[in-house]
Amino acid sequence: MSFHWLPNAISVLRIVLVVPILYLITLHQYSLALLLFFVAGISDGLDGLLARTFNWRSRAGALLDPLADKLMMAGSFAALWFTGLLPLWLALLVIARDLLIVVGAIFYNFLIKPVEGEPTRISKLNTAFELLLVFSVLARAAYGWPDPVVVVVLGAAVLVTVVISGIDYVWSWTNKARKGE
């Protein structure tokens, strides 16, 4: 029996978890939101690991995984801003970058060729910092740790990697479009 569908099912689960996580954040139920966010974060690594290890890659998975990431991160940053745990400018910056990538991918897909959906190293680093920041903010709200300086440093790391990865995506996709790749 083949389980080639499993990575896609895990990505769908992550998309489904977005709504309860955001709802719990807005209700200030940070402990439960943190638990579900942790499950979503683990599932993000698990679906990719399964797809690579067993060659269970698919076009649907190449689209579902980044979609789940974008919904989770943009929604989390919006909810954390809404509850006063993150500044508006940082939430807007993260959301703007994700929108830039999604809109760029849509245009590229229809005007040039189908998008492969392969994230760059700086984008993976950005996602890791975003995950750590959301996790840390939720943990701080729920349990009073980590120290506020950790949250500030992670916020700065998100700021830097959001800007660099956004520029990197625009630069690389523009070059690919010029070459017709």
Domain assignment present for 1: no
Residue 117 pLDDT level (bands cut at 50, 70, 90): low
Q: Does 99 reside within a domain?
A: yes
Q: Return the pLDDT at 119.
A: 82
**For 123-167, what is each residue's pLDDT tens digit?**
999 999 999 999 999 999 999 999 999 999 999 999 999 999 999
The DSSP letter of residue 54 is T
Neighbours of 116 (CB within 10 A): 12
Q: Which residue segment(s) compose the domain that 142 sits in?
A: 6-179
Q: Please report, for the domain that includes residue 160, its CATH number.
A: 1.20.120.1760
Exposed / middle / buried, residue 110 (Cβ in 10 Å: 0-12, 13-18, 19+): exposed
Q: Model-level pTM?
A: 0.93
* Dist CA 115 CA 106 (whole Å): 8
Number of domains in the chain: 1
CA 86 from chain centre, in angstroms, equals 16
Q: Please write the tens of the pLDDT for every residue from 11-66.
A: 999 999 999 999 999 999 999 999 999 999 999 889 989 999 999 998 888 889 98
